[in-house]
Amino acid sequence: MATSKKYNFKIKQDGATWSAKITRRVSSQRTVISKKQDGFVSEAEAQAWGEKHITLFLDNLNARNKRRSKPRTES
């Protein structure tokens, strides 16, 4: 699973359905939801979505950080 201390995903059952949330640790006491999806029929579907999207989310974040740091390193 591609997680870090700052980003993780959580799965929660809401009645008969499941939801998955990608969370970001802002401080030691505060967590923010960065992305969420509801309406999964099973826990396995929510787990698969969470694993897939946390990887995509972190890859996108790394690419964005590289793009933004490139002008700083060139000057």
Write the pLDDT tens digit of every residue in 11-67.
Answer: 999 899 999 999 999 998 999 999 999 999 999 999 999 999 999 999 999 999 999
Place of tokens 């993780």: 8
pLDDT score at 65: 92
d(CA 21, CA 28): 18
Q: What are the extents of the domains in the chain? A: 7-69
- Confidence (pTM): 0.79
DSSP sequence for the chain: ----SSEEEEEEEETTEEEEEEEEE-SSS-EEEEEEEEEESSHHHHHHHHHHHHHHHHHHHHHHHHHHHHHHHH-
